[in-house]
Structure 1
Amino acid sequence: MAGRLTGAAALAAACLLFGCANQEAPPQAASSAPPERRESADPYPSTYRPYPGATTAITGATIFDGEGGRIDNGTIVLAEGRIQAIGGPETPIPDGAVRVDGAGRWVTPGVIDVHSHLGNYPSPGVAAHSDGNEATNPVRTEVWAEHSVWPQDPGFTRALANGGVTTLQILPGSANLFGGRGVTLRNVPGRTMQQMRFPGAPRGLKMACGENPKRVYGGRNQMPATRMGNVAVMRATWQRAVEYRERRRRDANTARDFQLDTLVEAMAGDVLVHNHCYRADEMAIMLDMAREFGFRISTFHHAVEAYKIGDLLRENGTCAAMWSDWYGFKMESYDAVNENIPLVHNAGACAIVHSDDANGIQRLNQEAAKALADGRRMGIDISDEVAWRWLAINPATALGIADQTGSLRVGKRADVVLWNGNPFSVYTRPQQVWIDGALLYDMNNPRLRPVTDFELGQPGEGDVH
């Protein structure tokens, strides 16, 4: 039908609009030799290649650098996929650069969400698309979330256009004590998961405390059915991993165990532990378990009682990824306060705003604004530019990619959002979004507004010019 695109046609249109720079290499001549079998720490490597971008200078904007710094009437220059320069109005601008007038607008690093299920629970939300929980055993460390990611989930483009999200971690669900590996993605159009994978980003390990595992498996009359059962099964599993690691060290021919490989990599620090956990007492137990078995918890997710243990989080170098005011939907989420995020921040710990929701990911800036206002009402005076750490350098640190993104520093990836007003206002939206210096969204340019089946047929959408 004229004016409408199928999913395949929309993807083809995206290629026309964005240049399809992420295309895989052309096929090579067929070979009769079987592919070489190799034991690799990364058997599914990233094939991500940045989309092409033009040298660009944004001038006259208020800049939050993502690490707590602010520049008024600032200039930022993007070139060859990286941040080339940042400073005041005197910052040199290369000849021929595309100039963007940022007067009256704000510039920030791209938003990073450490907890998403886009692609694993894509839209439309039907049973056939439910691929986030392998709820067949409380220990499922052998499954990888990336093997369920559907790149055409319209949630990705909505997160880009409405939320300025440039990087996100896709995690398995929380039905299991060990839910499997998570993957960090660039929020770009891609035909395959590998084309979206953040190059060099460590994978995560999803663990879960509390009600979910004991409800799922206790309801089947098996362990764990209690919180003490949760801890017993987790400790026994880590102990198996320790013994497996020692066997592999003694004998390289020891048969591989894909479950235990993940845990051995976590103990080595190559896989980062992300722990779904609500209650302060359980988070403290998990920190003890980490010391017992020699792994580190990168981040507690949801963490509605993190405000009680900010000192423990700080001392252990563990982040807390939190909602601003979502609580009370089950017993372990009741003892919440709206000041959770600023209280954790004020304790000197790493505070993060996360979504765990296909709609929430589109307004993480507003979630941060609510937490910021709640903190100020109780006397915790945090500036706007410092609060942006919750959406930028802190989640980048939790994901092990802070050397590449999460702040506007010379040499880092040019992941940049130009907001059409103060980003902590409910009336503000992304005006333009760059990933690796490529302009992938422009609210004023129909050719650079991502089109999905959810928008097709709406006034002003769906036409390819």
Structure 2
Amino acid sequence: MAAKALPKGLDASANPDPFPSTYKPLPGKTVAIVGANILTATGKEIDGGVVVLEGGKITAVGAAGTAVPQGAEIIDGKGKWVTPGVIDAHSHLGVYPTPAVQAHSDGNEATDPNTAQVWAEHSIWPQDPGFNRARAGGVTTLEILPGSANLFGGRAAIVKNVPSVTYQGMKFPGAPYGLKMACGENPKRVYGSKGRSPSTAMGNVAGYRKAWIDAAEYMRKWDEYHAKVGRGEKADPPKRDLQLDTLAGVIRGEILVQNHCYRADEMATMIDISHEFGFHVAMFHHASEAYKAADILAKENVCIATWADWANFKMESLDGIEANAAIAHKKGVCVVIHSDDETITQHLNQEAAIAMTAGNRIGLNISKADAISWITANPAKAIGILDKTGTLETGKAGDLVVWSTDPFSVYAKADKVFIDGALVYDRFDPAKKAKSDFELGQPGAGEFQ
């Protein structure tokens, strides 16, 4: 007699996304932006070019004279610049929202070194005004992460930066989950202060290894169960464990590791652990010493997400330098400029400009065509959505920004922001400046700071 199927809530493989996206693109038109300087994030810069949005997708990108569909709305791009939508690969909007009060402080489940069972999306407050301000800075997609108190902080969620009543209405359809991990000072400080392990760097490493051993055993039990069921044999299922579900998802390659880690030596250790247990680190976040380990990172195809010039605020950031991103880029590392901050997310284009300038000051000759990838294509790659967005290429989602001037200028502002071909922000149209319910009636709501 064939084994009876388990209720889907008792077998993770039966329902891998129990909180499915309900995102639906906003209505859009056929639009042609004509005469703008275009940075495609594929290494190309097109002067006075054309971008066409149709049916929510990019349908043409090219030089002056590129055909424009009959009846398209024409946007005069002369003197303006067009880039892909900005992607913030390290955000805590919604989980540490504004106003920053204890009632909304939902980013760290700081109760155990391993909280891989928690999911950041369950803490997202969609009414956080920070989403609107980020959109005014050109941000179209964000990865929302738990904090870094724990060795394993929980699952990260990827969201479209659209107004929504629910987080499900923001979830990026088809995007993979991430797992937030943290090495370094934070976990050992949080738990050492409680008289618990880990309290040292070696305690951190022991904690990771134990967790992956447990995950491998959990996978073995479930694989054995599914094999028996597949053969029609009687089998007793293991008890489902939400924490181990997430870690098993990483080993299977379904969930991407997003690892808070500053120091070069600790990044090398985390890479060794990934080899030991058969998973891949998608990206090291903050990565202040990436320039020291750039050869290793490039060889391992590990991205880094960093700031332009945040350093020296704690010991593990002591050797941070302004040229970190630029040096790593020149050595073949996939570089991302991130925010980790509700204000920097509004100015990621200028944060990238600072990092580019720091590299060029020491002779690295990084072009704008390359640097734009730090806030568009590379974060899309690192969080697993480059096949859908992050570059201006035909067939990709119509996620783009029309800038008032060179986006690497301190004076640049996002004039228009499109997500899936729909105009979601217009600097000159109050009707296209969404306001959170929390901000209704407040002057200046929806503007960036």
- Which TM class, normalised by the smaller chain length? over 0.9
Superposition deviation, residue 447 in structure 1:
1.0
Distance 1:296 1:329, change over 3 A: same
User: Hey, what's the Cα distance between the residues in 2 that align with 1:278 and 1:114?
Assistant: 16
Partner-residue secondary structure (3-state), 1:324: coil
Q: Which residue of 2 aligns with 1:247?
A: 221
Question: Structure 1 vs Structure 2: percent identity of aligned residues?
Answer: 54
1:273 to 257, 263, 273: 257
Task: Check if 1:150 corresponds to 2:116.
Answer: no
Q: Which residue of 2 aligns with 1:342?
A: 326
Superposition deviation, residue 329 in structure 1:
1.0
User: Hey, what's the Cα distance between the residues in 2 that align with 1:287 and 1:461?
Assistant: 41
1:84 to 59, 73, 90: 59
Equivalent residues in 2 for 1:354-373, closer than 5 Å: 354-373=338-357
Q: Which residue of 2 aligns with 1:12?
A: none
* Count of aligned pairs between the two proteins: 427
Letter in 1 for 2:16: A
Equivalent residues in 2 for 1:24-423, closer than 5 Å: 39-161=14-136, 163-252=137-226, 253-423=237-407
1:309-367 C-alpha deviation (Å, 9 max, x unpaired):
11111111100000000011111111111100000100001000000000110000111
Letter in 2 for 1:458: P
1:195-249 C-alpha deviation (Å, 9 max, x unpaired):
1000000000000001000000011111000000000011011011011111111
Alpha carbons 2:57, 2:420 under 8 Å: kept: yes
Q: Which residue of 2 aligns with 1:20?
A: none
Superposition deviation, residue 37 in structure 1:
5.2
User: Hey, what's the Cα distance between the residues in 1 that align with 2:146 and 2:425?
Assistant: 28
Partner-residue secondary structure (3-state), 1:433: strand
Distance 1:233 1:36, change over 3 A: closer
Superposition deviation, residue 280 in structure 1:
0.4
1:458 to 425, 434, 443: 443
1:168-195 C-alpha deviation (Å, 9 max, x unpaired):
0000000000000000000001111111
Superposition deviation, residue 67 in structure 1:
1.8
Superposition deviation, residue 455 in structure 1:
7.3
User: Hey, what's the Cα distance between the residues in 1 that align with 2:301 and 2:440?
Assistant: 42
Alpha carbons 1:179, 1:206 under 8 Å: kept: yes
User: Hey, what's the Cα distance between the residues in 2 that align with 1:139 and 1:148?
Assistant: 18
Letter in 1 for 2:21: S
1:89-120 C-alpha deviation (Å, 9 max, x unpaired):
11111111110000000000000010000000
User: Hey, what's the Cα distance between the residues in 1 that align with 2:264 and 2:356?
Assistant: 22
1:14-64 C-alpha deviation (Å, 9 max, x unpaired):
xxxxxxxxxxxxxxxxxxxxx975741111111111001000000000000
Letter in 2 for 1:51: L
Distance 1:461 1:386, change over 3 A: closer
Partner-residue secondary structure (3-state), 1:427: coil
| Poorly superposed stretches of 4+, deviation over 6 Å | 459-462
Superposition deviation, residue 251 in structure 1:
2.2
1:400-424 C-alpha deviation (Å, 9 max, x unpaired):
1000000000000000100000100
User: Hey, what's the Cα distance between the residues in 2 that align with 1:346 and 1:46?
Assistant: 38
User: Hey, what's the Cα distance between the residues in 1 that align with 2:15 and 2:52?
Assistant: 39
Superposition deviation, residue 68 in structure 1:
1.6
Q: Let me know the Cα RMSD of the aligned residues.
A: 1.4
Q: Which shows bigger deviation, 440-449 or 112-121?
A: 440-449
Structure 2 unaligned spans of 5+ = 1-6, 227-236
TM-score, normalised with respect to structure 1? 0.90
Structure 1 unaligned spans of 5+ = 1-34
Q: Which residue of 1 aligns with 2:232?
A: none
Alpha carbons 1:65, 1:108 under 8 Å: kept: yes
